[in-house]
Each structure stands twice: as C-alpha cells, then as structure tokens.
Amino acid sequence: MAETKIIASGPVSTGQPAHYPLLAVAAVLLGASMANIDSRMFSIGLPDLKGAFSLSFDEGAWLSTASTASQIFIAPAVAWMATVFGLRRILGAPSLVFAAISLMLPFVRDYQALMALTILHGLLLGTFVPATLMIIFRNLPMQWWLVAIGIYALRVGFSLNFGPALVGFYVDHVGWQWLYWQDAIIAVLMAILVYLGAPREPVNRALLETADWGGMLLLGTGIAMVYAGLDQGNRLDWLGSGTVVAMLLSGAALLVAFFVNEALVRDPWAHANVLLSRNIGFALVVILLYTLTSLSNSSLVPNFLSTVAQLRPEQTGRLLLVYGVLPMAITFPVSIWLARRFDVRILLVIGLLTFAAAALLGTRITHEWALTDFIPMVLLQSVGQSFTLLPIILIALANSDPTRATAFAAYIQIMRLGGAEIGIALMGTWLRVREQVHSNLLGQHVTHAKDQVHDLLAKLSGYFASYGTGTATGRSVGKLASIVQREANVLAYIDGFWLTFIFAIAALLVAALITKAPPGPFSPKTR
C-alpha cells in the first residue's frame, strides 16, 4: 500500500549526497544556463540562421516551432526518468549525443534532415533544465539547496540579457556556426561533471514496471501541440488556418485525456492531487504571471530596439549585458542572503514591484528613445529577475511534500517553460493587432488633416527631388507611410508595456493570497 502511494505521488527524493557536490552544482549551472541561452540565442539569431541555411520565412518559422515544441514535449517526463534511470544515464550520454548533433547542424543543407536534427537537438536540450533540478534534490546535501535553486532561477534573467550580446559577437566576429558549436563544448564539459559528481544508481525497476507511459505521452504531446498552434497562429491567421485549429483542438483533447488517464490508471505518474494545495495553486499562477510580466525584458525591449530603432543584436547586446547581466552579480547574492533571513514573500513583492515600475517606464517610450534611455528600465528588470523567480520556486517547494520535490519540480518547469513560450506567441499577436489598430487610427488623422499632409508631402517632395524628380512624389508618400507605421509600432509597444504592468499587478494580488509556509528546509533563519 505504501509503495503504491509513493508511485502515485511521483518520484521520491532520496537526498543521497553526490561524490563531489561542487561538481554537481557546476553541472546545474552549465546545464540550466546552456538550455536557456541556447533557446534565447536561437530566437534572436533566427534571421541569420535562415540566411545561412537558405530557408524561406515559412521554413524558418517551422524550424523554430519544432525546436521549442520538442523541448516542451520531453520536459514533463524528465523528473521521472531521472528518478528511474539515474542522473548519469539521463545527462551523461545524452550530453555527448547533444554535442555531436550541435557539431553537425551547421553543415546540414537538406531541410528534412535539418528539421529532424533540430527536433532531436530540442529533445535533448529539454532534458537539461528539469534534470539539473534533480541534481539539487537527489544529490546535494540539504544545506546546498537554496544556493543551487538560486542558480536555477538566475539563469532565466541571465540568458535573457546575455543572449543578444552573444549572438552579435558570434555573427559578427567568429561565425554564426558558433550558435551551435558553443553547445558542443559546454555539453561535453557538463557530461564530465555529471560523471564525476553524480553517484552510480541502479535502475529503479519497481517504478519502471509500473510506468505510466500513456500519461507521459499524453501530457507531453498535448502541451507541445498547443504550443505549436499558438506559435504558428500569429503567422497563419489563427482560426483562419485549419492547421492551427487542428493543433489547438488536438492538443486540448490530449490534455483532457491525460487528466482522465491519471484519474483512472492504477499508478498515475502525475496525478492532479500532487498540486491540490492552496499555496501551491497560487504559486503556479504567480509563475505563469511572472513569465508574462517578464516579457517586458525578454520580448518588448529587444524587439522595440530591433523593430523601431532598427538596431541589430550586437548593438543592443551591450545595453542588456552591462545593465541587465552585471547587476545580477550584486542582486543575486543579496536575494540569497535575504531568502535565508526573511519571509520570501517579501522578496516576491519586491521583484514584482520592480517589474511593474519597469513596465510603467516602458509606457513612456517614443521613437526618439536611444539605448541610454532604456538603462533605468533594464536595471529594474534585472532586479526583478533576481527577486521574483527564486521566491516563487521556494514558496511552491516549501508548501509541497519534500519527499515529492523531484515530481513537483517537473510541474514548475512545465508552467515556466510552457507559460513563457505561450506568452511570447500571444504577445506577438497582441503587438500585431494593436499595430494594425493604431495604424488605422493614425491613417484616419492623416486623411482628415489634408492641409498639413499636403504641406509635409510638398517638403518631402522637395527633398527627394534632388534624387530624381520623377520619383520624388512616390518617395514622399512612401516616407509618410513609413512614419505612420513607425508611430503605430511605438503605440503598439506602449500597449504591450501596459499589458505587462497589468500582469505584474495581477501577480501581486495573487501573491497576497499566499499564506505562510510550514516550517521546513527553506524557512528563514532567525538569530
């Protein structure tokens, strides 16, 4: 009876120390950071990759979707697999295979082969973040947990702000191939650290024999299909596309089937009762709202600089590196120190308030904003990254059964990864729709203000006449249209910042409903 209960609740954390805990911590940092930086660099460097691989716009879009969807597909099951097969088997050999694929990808020119390798690349990449959490809970002594979880939380903000600078450096100085080749070096080093740091563990055959393979496939496939539908929805006109509708409906049906399966199967892999707790439920909602709020950092600032200011990653990378990454060297240790001594709900409020303040600054942008104008906003976002995700994770873990930490870590990863990718897809749609609305409204003002428009066109025609009188009129009209489009984009991004501000306030309201966690390993130490 006891064994059945353990299996139904998910994998159990043994708390067995690693041979060399410091090496395991290094593997946590490398694996988690590599996964996030790789995903970030792929999205930023996609235009360069499409050019290098000679891909059309549609081919590049599907390549991006396949890369992320495959990560989402595998992520939920990694915690279970790490418990059954051991960390050495889950991270060791797959890291070497991942390194080999990363070396091969830049040389592939056949699209079908490129797509297949990209999917396999994403599947392996998707194992690193959840599996590195297993190092924390299964292999490190309990007193190391807070620091290791802090590293896990920090890599999100680090990758968001460090990615653009790294893409710009690779593309401009050493070659776009290093967008892949850097993974090969890091993955080999990670494999070495795992083999040295993680203990040898036998296969848990009892858990393997009762494996809920159907539940794992249903959840992973369902989430991946929903994400793919949302990611392609903005490009394919949402419900106007049969492909998008089919993916969304199929994904939703698979998710419903997953919950039905978990309720009926004898030994459920991830039964919903693992999450049935007031504080855990609110914590998961806050994680989702955090991922949506942090879009001001991950999406709005770099995309505004790219779309409106027409800057490339190597130009915006310095801003995000100096004012987004470097301040974390101070704020990260401070957040760890505060988490040891104060209620982490206070840290959560501080982090969300800084994100809200950054969003308010974003509502004041104009087309004249230069890189230096974004410094206060990026600094606030850097503080928000250091003070938000860590307390959310600690709240969720402190309110869960500590012996089920490995299982619950998978749910945190699903919510964070799935929420972030879905949020990016929805934000892209929001910006597109708002740009169309503002373009239409501005166009109406242009139509009504005939005298002012005629005067402007006359001035523009006079300017362009020096380049050819025959094309002066057409160029002046085109310039006016580009000005309208630019201002429509600015207004759309302002709306985007207002949306992230609303998400931050909603997260604060939900956080206020979280009660104090029971005493445990994450309780603050008072002197």
The least confident of 23-27, 118-122, 244-248, 493-497 is 23-27
Looking at the chain, the whole-number percentage of residues with pLDDT higher than 70 is: 83
SS3 call for 250: helix
The yes-or-no verdict on residue 179 having pLDDT over 70 is yes
Does 431 map to a domain? no
> Taking residues 3-13, what's their average pLDDT?
39
Residues 275 and 339 grouped into a single domain: yes
Q: Which residue would you say has higher pLDDT here, 217 or 92? A: 217
Residue-level pLDDT at 364: 95
Q: Which of 257-261, 268-272, 419-423 has the highest mean pLDDT?
A: 257-261
Does 248 map to a domain? yes
Q: Which of 230-234, 297-301, 363-367 has the highest mean pLDDT?
A: 363-367
Q: Would you tell me how many other CB atoms lie within 10 Å of the CB of residue 260?
A: 12
Residues 413 and 279 grouped into a single domain: yes
pTM summary value: 0.84
Task: Residue 126: name the closest of 164, 75, 55 by CA.
Answer: 75
Q: Would you tell me how many other CB atoms lie within 10 Å of the CB of residue 160?
A: 26
For helices 344-362 and 469-511, the axis angle rounded to 10 degrees is 160
> Taking residues 64-80, what's their average pLDDT?
87
Residues 177 and 281 grouped into a single domain: no
Residues 256 and 296 grouped into a single domain: no
Rounded to an integer, what is the distance from CA 483 to the centroid of its chain?
33
| Number of domain units in the chain | 4
The yes-or-no verdict on residue 14 having pLDDT over 80 is no
Residues 228 and 320 grouped into a single domain: no
Q: Which residue would you say has higher pLDDT here, 431 or 272? A: 431
Q: Which residue would you say has higher pLDDT here, 451 or 99? A: 99
The yes-or-no verdict on residue 463 having pLDDT over 80 is no
Residues 16 and 136 grouped into a single domain: yes
> Taking residues 221-241, what's their average pLDDT?
88
Domain CATH code at residue 357: 1.20.1250.20
The yes-or-no verdict on residue 520 having pLDDT over 80 is no
DSSP H helices in 313-374: 313-320, 328-341, 344-362
Residues 277 and 243 grouped into a single domain: no
Q: Do the Cβ atoms of 198 and 91 come closer than 8 Å?
A: yes
pLDDT, tens digit (0-9, with 9 covering 90-100), for 162-175: 888 888 888 888 89
Q: Which two tokens stand for residue 89?
A: 């088997």
Residues 305 and 227 grouped into a single domain: no
Residue-level pLDDT at 481: 76
Residues 373 and 458 grouped into a single domain: no
* Domain boundary, last residue among 196, 229, 264: 264
Look up the domain containing 280 and give its range. 271-425+494-527
For helices 313-320 and 145-169, the axis angle rounded to 10 degrees is 150
Residues 341 and 413 grouped into a single domain: yes
> Taking residues 240-255, what's their average pLDDT?
94
Residue-level pLDDT at 150: 84
> Taking residues 454-461, what's their average pLDDT?
66
pLDDT, tens digit (0-9, with 9 covering 90-100), for 83-131: 788 778 888 888 999 999 999 999 999 999 999 999 999 999 888 876 6
Looking at the chain, the whole-number percentage of residues with pLDDT higher than 90 is: 33
Residues 256 and 343 grouped into a single domain: no
List CB contacts of 321: < 8 A, sequence separation 6 or more: 161, 162, 164, 165
The yes-or-no verdict on residue 161 having pLDDT over 50 is yes
Does 430 map to a domain? no
The residue type of 387 is F
Residues 225 and 115 grouped into a single domain: no
